[in-house]
Amino acid sequence: MRSDQTLASLKADFFSADFAAASAAADELGKMSGNEVVDFLIPVLESEDALQRNRAALALRDIGNSRAAAPLWRSIQHASNRNKRGTMVYALEKLDCSQELGTVFDLLFYGSYEVRMHAGTILDEQIFEFSETDLHIIQSKWDDLRQHPEHCPDFDACKDDIRHFVEGFTSYLVD
């Protein structure tokens, strides 16, 4: 267990202008657990500084406390983060996304390459709770995306991967 002094130093170093020191502090915080560390990192997800957000997201991923999932989802959805969310989606791979099937599919459908890859990992590795309505919405969005491929970056390159995930889940629909 680290002393309070060490934790205070790590918190201060986390915001250092020295990239190496800030990254090392984030790595050390990620090795820790406990509410004080999680409570420190969660508000950083709202920072205007993308590097700070990413360091916090990675540390929260390492900690694996699912209390971080909802704040990560909020940060991912924030308009100013639209082009800077790959690391935050990566952090979600280790957190409970079982209630977010539709949101994960939205990331798969409309996200950048990096976001799509992490969304795919979440879909592959986690178990979801969903309804028939959820699956119909996913199918409808997929149908719309095929009619309007301009809404998905690099649609031609990723459509087979997306189709794989859509068909994997919509196969639960009963005709």
Q: Residue by residue, what is the 3-state secondary structure of 31-74? A: CCCCHHHHHHHHHHHHCCCHHHHHHHHHHHHHHCCHHHHHHHHH
Q: What is the pTM of this model?
A: 0.90
pLDDT at 5: 58
Local confidence band at 79 (pLDDT 50, 70, 90 cut-offs): low
Percent of the chain scoring above 70 in pLDDT: 94
Helix axes 155-170, 113-125, angle to 10 degrees: 20
Give tens-digit pLDDT for 111-151.
Answer: 999 999 999 999 999 999 999 999 999 999 999 999 999 99
Residue 1 has pLDDT above 90, yes or no: no
So where are the chain's domains? Answer: 1-96, 97-175
Output the CATH code of domain 1-96: 1.25.10.10
Mean pLDDT on 30-49: 93
Q: What is the mean pLDDT of the chain?
A: 93
pLDDT at 3: 55
Give tens-digit pLDDT for 10-28.
Answer: 999 999 999 999 999 999 9
